[in-house]
A and B are shown apart, each in its own frame.
Chain A
Amino acid sequence: MAFLTKGSVAALIAAAAGALCLLLESSLPWLVKFPAAWVLPATDWAGAAMEWLLALIKPTARGFSALMFYPMEAANYVLSNTPWPLVICATAALAWILGGVRMALMALVGLGFVLASGYWPESMNTLALVAVSVPLALIIGGGIGILANEYPRVRKPVQALLDIMQTVPTFAYLTPLLVLFGFGPVVGLIASAIYAAPPMARNVLLGLERVEPEIKEAAIMAGGTRLQQLFQCEIPSAGQQIMVGVNQCLMAALSMVIIAAVIGGFDDIGWEVLLTMRKAQFGQSLLAGLVIVIFAILIDRMSGTLTQDRREKHDPRIAWGILAVGAAASAVFWGHIQQPGAYALFNPVADSVDRGLSAFTTANADVLTAFKNNVLFYVLLPLRIGLDQAVLPFTWGFSWTPMMSLGLFATGAAAGAVFALRGQLALGVMLLIAAGMLETGISQLPWPFVLIGAGALAWVAGGRGLAIMTVALLATILVSGLWERALLSLYLSGAAVFACTVMGGAIGLVSAVSPAVWRVVHPICDMLQTIPLFVFLIPVLMVFQIGEFSAFLAIIAYAIVPMIRYTRHGLVSTPEEMIEAATASGATKWQMLKDIRAPYAAPSILLGLNQTILYAFAMLVIAALIGTTGLGQSIYLALGQADVGLGISAGAAMAILALIADRMVQGFAEERRKALGL
């Protein structure tokens, strides 16, 4: 074994486990399908435990809920009763202070569009929720960040908690909140505060940790008390990082408020999207989605200016002027101002979009269906249930025979042998494993193989500790009876991540090579990252209707961005001296890319992959709204039935999958970074 690398050993172990499972499949059926008798009623236990816990804190929660009712009502009242000219001008004035003419114009045009769309009242309802949840999240997150900074002992547990809070899918904690707070907007409020607090806490902690030690020492030597040091020196010094936290907090809150619309009970813009989507009024739903996007962009860009290093000063007198114009307009035209909801200038457009869309889908039905079916039948389905079941005369024109299986394995083995002989044993064995997985299908992989294979991979990525954690966590999913659903989730997100990696990597590569391409791709990436998750569903639904394929596309659209960004960033950020050294050695552009930039970019690309995986999991749950199977669906169902146990366990299973994927990829990235001495 001494001459085998760690990777080869792991690959061989996994291959052996897989082969053993395949051989024993017929005689020992429990190897493939985990026997139901072995499943522990963990879901029920979790449910019972949660219900007990929830009952315990319910009175407090209801009290809090009643308390939050007042600020929410107040925000709602103010926002919905302030004349719209004043709201628009106040926003524009604020935008002027933050970012000058461009920002102010953006605010005017954006809010003008919202007004004209007729979704003004709904938007104000959404904004009212954000306006209350954000301060809550800022206080909670800031407090946690400061405390973690002050007491180093709690730093690790806090960071672990933040990790979990951000990996648990958003829908999952809506269910217990629903039970706690009852139906109503307060659930959305609390959920968005919970969801938005971690980025704030993280950035506050990061900012405080990164304050130069000498600045901290200077504050001590000046004779400040601890509170003086903290609030007069350290927090202001960390200001930029904290503002990054504020920006992320705002975006997360908005995103969550819109997601929380699925529980209904509040006439906000997210609800409007959902409603129109259900009624298949895609033109309207697209319009409402656009309104959300406008808010997201405005909030992001306006708060984004706070994170800039050196901000230009903009004359506050102009801001006052804009505000005065708004007030004057409101006063003068008081009697003439229509109810803001009455403007529905875009309805004809929306209707024509609807008509155009149906015309388009009917006209191109053949192409669209062919595209959809090709991907489904030739890519997704074989991945899901394996070639042996997916290949049918009905779709492929022939049926899968044992001879073909043999041929597949032989091809895999031959290709693997070629690599093994070239000294890349691990790669060769992995090819063989891939052939086996293609034959079986991800959702029907024998569970011992998954445990052992994942464990082996984790061992290579992060050593024994990670391997044990991986196996133990996967085993909990196994015994809790969520295994099949977990594999379904794994299959869909895996397929999406794979597609993102290939396409995103390619786009990132081209963007790195050609600045002209990046100039086009860059704003699109910015846009995609600003749009709340929810909105991604609208366009795919418009064209491809409900189903797994639409979900697949929505996940790709959302999760591809980090892959593009990190690939490009890794490739272009090679240190100048290395480029010069390569140029001096006479490397061509492609040699430079292949031999110098790509290896240097590897850790960065792996981090992109990591983000893509997390994004894919996050979207998977949202995509359950338009039809996916697996854990996402369970979480969504649990929400509908207020089934806390199912919601919690399915959410936990989802978080476990995300956590394991995260740690493994981080492990590989870390290994690459060390190898490069970074």
Chain B
Amino acid sequence: MRANGARLSTPPLSEPRPVSGSETPAITCQNVWQVFGNDADSALKEVLANHPSPDDAAGELRSKGLIPAVQNASFQVQEGELFVIMGLSGSGKSTLIRCISHLLHATGGEIRIDGENIVEASAKRLIELRRKKLGMVFQHFGLFPHMTVAENVAYPLRVQGVKKKQRQAKAEEVINLVGLRGRENHYPRELSGGQRQRVGIARSLVADCSVWFLDEPFSALDPLIRRQLQDEFLEIQAKLKTTIVFITHDINEALKLADRIAIMRDGRIVQIGTPADIVLRPVDDYVREFSKDVAKGRHARVASVMETGAGLAYGADDPGLRQDMTLDAALARCMELYEPVPVRSPEGNVVGVVNPADLAAALQVEQG
């Protein structure tokens, strides 16, 4: 968790969500390993006993022909926090979320949800947890092709034995929440990709989960629909305030949604931090490469580039900067100090004037 050590003194991009007073984090992962291959359990135990360093242990496992898909992952997610795990395909992010939701049995380590170690939970307890506490959204939606929208959404209630009328009422409620009113009796094949994922979201919400897993929920959608759904997702989250683990391979999506981001590479978590941390203080070239294409002006705040200390000199102009302004906004303010400047043709004749403040404003991306 070296990233946390280097945590900036600046506030995160979004307002910190109200975190309830309880002491136990919603999710705790402690030294989680997921190893694929024959006899992975005993192999991992043996390797860990001989190699204290996780990297050495992973190397040893690989040399034995096993695949350490997740290596020694440790982090905590607070209640109500939106925690994004980001990485390229094959980095182990989907495996990790499947460990936490116990679709895969973690080979090693401890995963606690509200303090309860689910790695050791019984099959019966797991079913109970999934019915009451956990919800999941899948990349390719995972809708049941033989059920209508309403039946799909109500399915988690059906397995619990909730009466038909009751579950229909509840399903209708979440269907309205995701904006699918009127499509209750359609089959998944009759819906567009965006609508299908709305069904997936509604289904994961119907049982009032408190921990919500989203595995690349918007990756299969085209960019316009993706942005629309991201915004609606944030609205839903603002209403429900559930704890969220969100997987994505898209750095912009991660930065837009996350309270904190964990970046994974080759099965390891290489950095955990707020969006600003990731953009401005990448721990290595790998993370830097990610944030290269990101418009830093939108994610970084003035505080992250300002110098502090006593006796710092400054000029007479004061454009009115505040430390929590984005760089884009601060730049625009500074530019307002300039007079309009000339613009010339190739021959050197003045063809017009431009106001520097307009230049800065033109660079800014409208925030949805």
Contacts and interface: CB of A to CB of B under 8 A. Distances in A.
Given A214-B138, A214-B139, A228-B159, A221 B130 contact: yes
Contacts of B207: 222-223
A434 interface: no
A233 B139 contact: no
A544 B129 CA distance: 73
Interface in B121-141: 127-132, 134-136, 138-141
Interface string B187-199: 0010000000000
A232 interface: yes
Contact of A214 (B128, B132, B142): B142
B24 interface: no
A212 interface: yes
B101 interface: yes
Contacts of A331: none
A226 to B, nearest CB: 8
B223 interface: no
Given A215-B142, A218-B143, A223 B127 contact: yes
B171 to A, nearest CB: 13
A220 B130 contact: yes
A225 B127 contact: yes
B159 A218 contact: no
A239 interface: yes
A223 B159 contact: yes
Interface string A234-278: 001101000000000000000000000000000000000000000
A233 B129 CA distance: 20
Contacts of B129: 223
A407 interface: no
A48 B152 CA distance: 58
- Ranked nearest first, the 8 interchain pairs of A and B with the lowest CB-CB distance are A214-B142, A223-B131, A218-B142, A223-B130, A222-B156, A236-B146, A221-B136, A214-B138
B128 A237 contact: no
A222 B129 CA distance: 10
Contact of B159 (A217, A232, A310): A232
Contacts of B132: 223
Contacts of A224: 127, 159
Given A217-B103, A224-B159, A233-B155, 16 more contacts: A214-B139, A214-B142, A215-B144, A215-B145, A218-B136, A218-B142, A220-B130, A221-B101, A221-B134, A222-B155, A223-B128, A223-B131, A225-B159, A236-B145, A237-B145, A310-B189
A223 B142 CA distance: 15
Given A214-B141, A217-B136, A232-B159, A222 B146 contact: no
B301 interface: no
Contacts of A218: 136, 138, 142-144, 200, 203
A236 B213 CA distance: 25
Nearest to B152: A218
Nearest to B154: A222
15 contacts: A217-B98, A217-B136, A221-B103, A221-B134, A222-B131, A222-B155, A223-B129, A223-B159, A223-B160, A223-B207, A224-B159, A225-B127, A236-B145, A236-B146, A237-B146
Interface string A179-220: 000000000000000000000000000000000101101111
Contacts of B189: 310
B34 to A, nearest CB: 15
A345 B236 CA distance: 74
Which bracket fits the contact residues of B?
Answer: 20 to 34
Contacts of A214: 138-142
A310 B134 CA distance: 34
Interface string B245-280: 000000000000000000000000000000000000
Which of A219, A222, A232, A237 has most chain B Cβ within 10 Å? A222
B94 to A, nearest CB: 11
B159 A220 contact: no
A517 B147 CA distance: 42
Interface of A: 212, 214-215, 217-225, 228, 232-233, 236-237, 239, 310
A217 B130 contact: no
B144 A237 contact: yes
Given A222-B156, A232-B159, A215 B134 contact: no
A225 B159 CA distance: 8
Nearest to B159: A224
A222 B143 contact: no
Contacts of A310: 189
A566 to B, nearest CB: 29
Contacts of B142: 212, 214-215, 217-218
Contacts of B204: 221
A242 to B, nearest CB: 12
A215 B200 CA distance: 11
B123 to A, nearest CB: 8
Contacts of B139: 214
Nearest to A224: B159
B291 to A, nearest CB: 30
A236 B147 CA distance: 9
Nearest to A233: B144
Contacts of B156: 222-223
A657 B128 CA distance: 54
Contacts of A225: 127, 159
Nearest to B200: A218
Nearest to B104: A217
Contacts of B145: 215, 236-237
A215 B130 contact: no
A214 B215 CA distance: 10
A224 B203 CA distance: 14
Nearest to A229: B159
Given A214-B139, A225-B127, A220 B103 contact: yes
Contacts of B146: 236-237, 239
A239 B187 CA distance: 15
Nearest to A239: B146
Contacts of A217: 98, 103, 136, 138, 142
A310 B200 CA distance: 22
A239 B203 CA distance: 22
A391 B155 CA distance: 76
Contacts of A215: 142-145
Contacts of B140: 212, 214
Contacts of B103: 217, 220-221
B126 to A, nearest CB: 9
B9 to A, nearest CB: 39
A292 B129 CA distance: 57
A225 B160 CA distance: 10
Contacts of A237: 144-146
Which of A212, A223, A228, A236 has most chain B Cβ within 10 Å? A223
A218 B142 CA distance: 6
A222 B141 contact: no
Contacts of B159: 222-225, 228, 232
A184 B17 CA distance: 79
Interface in B222-262: none
A228 B161 CA distance: 11
Contacts of A219: 144, 155
A89 to B, nearest CB: 31
A217 B139 CA distance: 11
A240 to B, nearest CB: 9
Interface in B32-53: none
A230 to B, nearest CB: 12
A45 to B, nearest CB: 40
Contacts of B160: 223
B130 A222 contact: yes
Contacts of B134: 221
B49 to A, nearest CB: 30
Contacts of A233: 144, 155
Which of B138, B140, B147 has most chain A Cβ within 10 Å? B138
Interface string B202-226: 0110010000010000000000000
Contacts of A228: 159
Contacts of A220: 103, 130
